[in-house]
Each structure stands twice: as structure tokens, then as C-alpha cells.
Amino acid sequence: MAYSDKVIDHYNNPRNVGSLDKASADVGTGLVGAPECGDVMKLQIKVNPDTNVIEDAKFKTFGCGSAIASSSLATEWVKGKTVDEALAIKNTEIVKELALPPVKIHCSVLAEDAIRAAIGDWKKKQAAAKPVAAEAK
Amino acid sequence: MSTDVKTATPNTLESTERHAPDGIKLPIYMDNHATTPMDPRVLEEMLPYFMEKFGNAASRNHPFGWVAEEAVELSRERIAKLIGATAKEIIFTSGATESDNLAIKGVAEMYREKGNHIITAVTEHKAVLDTCKHLEKIGFRVTYLPVQKDGLVDLDDLKRAIDDKTILVTMMAANNEIGVLQPLAEIGKICRERGVIFHSDAVQAIGKVPVDVNKMNVDLASITGHKLYGPKGVGALYVRRKNPRVQLVPIIDGGGHERGMRSGTLNVPGIVGLGKACAIATEEMATESCKLAGLRNRLRDSIMSRLDEVYINGSMEHRLPGNLNISFAYVEGESLLMGINDIAVSSGSACTSATLEPSYVLKALGTGDDLAHSSIRFGIGRFNTQAEVDYVADRVVDTVQRLRELSPLYEMAKEGIDLKTVKWAGEAH
């Protein structure tokens, strides 16, 4: 199977590999996929509570080269965006950027799912934190 | 014969940025179950049969034909000698897929009055499984025996499966993915006692480990050239001529070549090559298998002494000398192949197969899908060296370590999370 140069670059030099503190209120964690299916992505974001801008993003991926590249690219793209802007990222843009062949489109779908799951987790934490903040007044 | 695990090849054969250590030429070919490079001695013997000795072996009335026929008969003898048969029992075909089809369909049609039941195993090659599936559609009954955790069939299962309608047992000698050797002699004995014809797809075993059709009571055996350092596109089927005499209905009709069992002008250069490859194997198999087992064990020990959570798939004891099939937990196979792209090996990962399903052979052993996705098949062959094995081991260990640092599963396992208890979002698909 021939990989595009961009996939090879992300595979050889993955961006933003690592983990953020998943217990932190500012951090959202998305864990998508399943080992039985051959792909698991963990994508984490750290959001500025005042501006809703994603200040940091990290990933770890179990999967093929295209899955690694899709999640690596996703962390690059969400960084510096607001949460709403990040939610607008479409898997088709990832497909285009990495020139993924049809059999690898599911990798881009999983990366989009990972972004949504991370943001969803962060929003859940925000919602849970609010009543506590109100009570403190 | 095609294999079901697909090969990852480097993007270009020349370009590898990596500096090759002294004495090693990159890329390294270590996928000898998919195909083997041709032995130069084989090519040398074939060459005259393309140009100056071009005759048709079926031309009975001039020297061009006689020369070709003489070469074909020498090959028949050489192949027969390697498996303990006689020359008249060797039928030439286009390769193992055709041999498997001819054996199974040929027996089914010839003996359908006697019975309609066929027994095989779930880990057989697709050339056997899909042929059996075809026969099921036209009224035959097929039992697909499971295998044990080590990849071997349970002989008691086989005994129980045979009934008065059973006409054929087809069981491979060596598996193309895990290299596991089925107990042919024991299977042959059971079949003989019960009066059932025994076919074996022996392409991976012949020339690598001793196969003797009489000692093992094999009635039909499939052979191919390109798995034993011969040419592609040529194979043979051993068909027992006495005790018992096995008859086949041909699947290719025509001029009545090969005693009516396989019509078509013989591929003389290919047949010469197959014969030479068998002659070399007869001479060198004992020393070669010893060398290959040494290299294979060196590769295994070098990898397993440096990495944890590495699992060997299939029996180590009943195994081809050059085969190693291992799963690297928490690392997906295709990404591993991508990391070692100066080495040609195969993976059982779904990502490397056309069907997007992980290896059915590994699943049959009870290997979980996660570990099937993480499997790599190394096939060490005649032309691999110790320096190559050491280089491959180093590259595999480095790449697995790098990918595990990238793997959320490895991180979770290190945190003490039992991955089997995690509710995965993707499980619904």
C-alpha cells in the first residue's frame, strides 16, 4: 500500500504525542474506537476557561499509519481554535489534507469522533462544575 | 499460490533513507511463505527451454518434441523422488490453487456415487476452503474441523467426523500463516483405515520438511514451484496410482495431456524449473532446515528477550523451520509494517487485507481480534543471513517500542487498567 508523503511525515514525526491530566477541569478526553477493530484514538484538549480557546492538544493512537496521521493532524488543527471552531472540523477535510484512499476514510471519521468526544467530555465537566460555582456565590 | 496475509512492500524498492549496516542490502526479503526468490541454479536449468529447446512435449514425431518430453519426464522423476512417489503419479498443473481444485473437485465428481461428505479444517488455505464452499452449493456436505490453540487438528475430532458418506479428507501439511505442521502420518492412517481418500495441500511443507506420501498414506498432494525457490505459474498434483488407485474427473478438458487428468500444452521451462527446485531440495533440505530453524530461533529470542507482551501464534514444536508468527500487544500490525518498511514481511492485521477482517487463521486459534491485528509473519528462507536476522530484530524492537509510546492501550495497560473491562465506543460497529 502506498502512503501519501503527508501520512508518512505524520507517522515518522507525529505531532503532540502524549497525555494531559484527565482529572483536570480544563481538560477534555476523547477515547474512541476499539482494540478488536484495530483502531483506538485518545485525543485530549486543554481549554482556556475564559476564551474557550483550545490551548493544548495531545494524542495517542493504536492503529495503522493513516489512523496515527489523522489523529496527529487533528491535534494540530484544533490547537488555537475555539471549541466551536474545532467542532466544525470535518473528516472530509482530513481525508483531503492527507490524501487518504477510500479504505482509510474510517481513520478520518475516527479522528473527527475523537475531537467531538474530547469536547463533549470537556463540556460535561463544565456543566458539572457550574452549579458548584453558583452555590459558592 | 496467493496467501491471505498481504505483504507490505517498501514504497520504492531502492529508496530507503536508512543506512544499511555492512553486509546487508536493503530492503530485506523475509516473506518466504508468500513466495520465494528463484534459486539461480533453477533459472540456469530453465533457460535453454525458452529458446533452443522450445519443443512441445506432446510432439511425438520429431526431436524438438522428444527433447522437451525428456526434460519433462526428468522433472517428474525429481518431484516424485522428493516425496517418495513414482514419476507416473505426478500431474503437472499451473500451481497449487489449480492442484487443490483438481484434487477436491476431481474426487468429489468421481466418487459422488459413493458419498457426498468432505472433511477439512478451518485453517486451510482459501484455495481449499473456497473449493469446498463451491461443492457445498452443489449438494456436497463439508465438515470444517476446528483447530486447537496450537493450530493442530484434534485427531479424535477427525475420527468422529468420518461417516459412511465421507469420500475425502483434505488437510494441509503446513499452514501458510503460522507454519504449523498437521500430523499427516496420523491423519493418513485414520483415512486409510476408514477407506477415505486423503488429500494434502503440501505447498508450504514440501522441500522444507520431509513429506513421504507412502509413509504418511497421502493419496493426493498439491505442490507449487514458487514456494521452494522455483518459478511461479507451475505446480503439480501427486495422484496415487495403487493401493488404492485414485481417479479424478478433470476440471480442464482438451487434448488429454497428463493421462487425461489435465489437458493443455505443458509449460516445459516451468516444469524443468520445478523439477530442478525439487532436486535441490532433496539434496539440501536436511542441512537447510537446520540452518533456518537456527536463524528463526535467533530472531525469536532476540525479539522476545527485549520486549514484553509478545506472543507466538501456533505451536513452536510442530512448525516449519523458517516460520515465526508473533503478536506484539498494543501495536497495530500495519503501522508496525510501515515502521519497518525496509523489511518485507506480512501482517494478519485487518488493515492489510482486502476484506478488512483480521486473519481467520489466528481467530481459529482463539487469538483475540486485538492480537490478530498485532501479528507479524516472518518467513525466513534460503537466502536470508544471520546479519539480516539481527538487523530485522533490532528494527522490530525499536519500532514496537516507539509505537507503544504512541499507543493509548499500552498506556492504559501500564496504568493497570484491564482492557477487557473497558467499554469501547467502537464496539457497536
Instruction: Domain ranges for chain B, please list them.
Output: 28-38+285-428, 40-281
Contact assignment for A117 to B424 by CB distance below 8 Å: no
Q: Under CATH, which architecture does the A5-126 domain have?
A: Alpha-Beta Complex (3.90)
Residue A87 identity:
L
DSSP letters along B126-150, please? HHHHHHHHHHHHTT-EEEEE---TT
| B419 in contact with chain A, both atoms CB, cutoff 8 A | yes
Contact assignment for B350 to A38 by CB distance below 8 Å: yes
Distance from CA of A127 to the nearest CA of B (A): 22
The pLDDT of residue B8: 47
The pLDDT of residue B355: 64
Contact assignment for B409 to A62 by CB distance below 8 Å: yes
Closest residue to A19, CB basis, from B356, B369, B411: B411
Distance from CA of B350 to the nearest CA of A (A): 7
Position A108 confidence tier, pLDDT thresholds 50, 70, 90: very high
Q: Are B123 and B182 in contact (CB under 8 A)?
A: no
CATH topology of domain B40-281: Aspartate Aminotransferase; domain 2 (3.40.640)
- Is residue B19 scored above 80 in pLDDT? no
- As a whole number, mean pLDDT of residues B37-48 equals 98
Q: Which chain B residues are within 8 Å of A65, Cβ to Cβ?
A: 334-335, 338
Question: Which residue among B132, B191, B278, B351 is the active-site one?
Answer: B351
Position B199 confidence tier, pLDDT thresholds 50, 70, 90: very high
The pLDDT of residue B348: 82
- As a whole number, mean pLDDT of residues B284-298 equals 97
Contact assignment for B426 to A34 by CB distance below 8 Å: yes
Distance CA A23, CA A13 (A): 28
Distance CA A31, CA B185 (A): 51
Distance CA A29, CA A42 (A): 7
| A22 in contact with chain B, both atoms CB, cutoff 8 A | no
The pLDDT of residue B13: 46
**CA nearest B321: which of B290, B277, B298, B346?**
B290
Position B20 confidence tier, pLDDT thresholds 50, 70, 90: confident
Of A32-36, A92-96, B134-138, B281-285, which gets the smallest average pLDDT? A32-36
Tallying the residues shown for chain B, one arrives at 429
The pLDDT of residue B357: 79
Distance CA B147, CA B54 (A): 47
Q: Please, is B389 exposed, middle or buried when counting C-beta atoms within 10 Å of its C-beta (0-12, 13-18, 19+)?
A: buried
Distance CA B127, CA A108 (A): 35
Q: 3-state class of B337 per DSSP?
A: helix
- As a whole number, mean pLDDT of residues B223-235 equals 98
- Is residue B356 scored above 90 in pLDDT? no
Q: Are B68 and B49 in contact (CB under 8 A)?
A: yes
Backbone angles phi, psi at B408, to 5 degrees: -65, -30
Size of interface A-B (CB pairs under 8 A): 97
Q: Calculate helix-pair angle for B126-137, B96-110, nearest 10 degrees.
A: 30
- Is residue A37 scored above 90 in pLDDT? no
- The residue in chain A having the minimum alpha-carbon distance to the alpha carbon of residue B420 is A35
- Which residue is listed with cell 490551548? A55
Closest residue to A62, CB basis, from B11, B330, B350: B330
The pLDDT of residue B9: 46
Q: What is the domain partition of chain A in residue ranges? A: 5-126
Q: How far is CA B155 from CA B171, B351, B362, in A?
A: 12, 34, 20
Contact assignment for A14 to B406 by CB distance below 8 Å: yes
Distance CA B426, CA B429 (A): 6
- Is residue A2 scored above 80 in pLDDT? no
- As a whole number, mean pLDDT of residues A91-106 equals 94
For B339-348, the pLDDT digits (tens) are 999 999 998 8
Q: What percent of chain B has pLDDT over 70?
A: 93
- Which residue is listed with cell 456436497? B140
- Which residue is listed with cell 471552531? A85
The pLDDT of residue A69: 97
CATH topology of domain B28-38+285-428: Aspartate Aminotransferase, domain 1 (3.90.1150)
**CA nearest B80: which of B217, B183, B223?**
B223
Cα pseudo-dihedral B110, B114, B120, B125, rounded to 10: 10
DSSP strand pairing (B323-328 vs B141-145): unpaired
The pLDDT of residue B426: 53
The pLDDT of residue A43: 97
- The residue in chain A having the minimum alpha-carbon distance to the alpha carbon of residue B363 is A36
Q: 3-state class of B273 per DSSP?
A: helix
Mean pLDDT of chain B: 93
- The residue in chain B having the minimum alpha-carbon distance to the alpha carbon of residue A8 is B338
Closest residue to B338, CB basis, from A3, A14, A39: A3
Q: Which chain B residues are within 8 Å of A1, Cβ to Cβ?
A: 8, 334, 352
- Is residue B350 scored above 90 in pLDDT? no
Contact assignment for B332 to A64 by CB distance below 8 Å: yes
Q: Is there a cis peptide before residue B244, judged by omega within 30 degrees of 0? A: yes
The pLDDT of residue B2: 41
Q: How far is CA B225 from CA A46, B269, B330, B409, in A?
A: 60, 12, 37, 43
Q: 3-state class of B45 per DSSP?
A: helix
- As a whole number, mean pLDDT of residues A66-88 equals 97
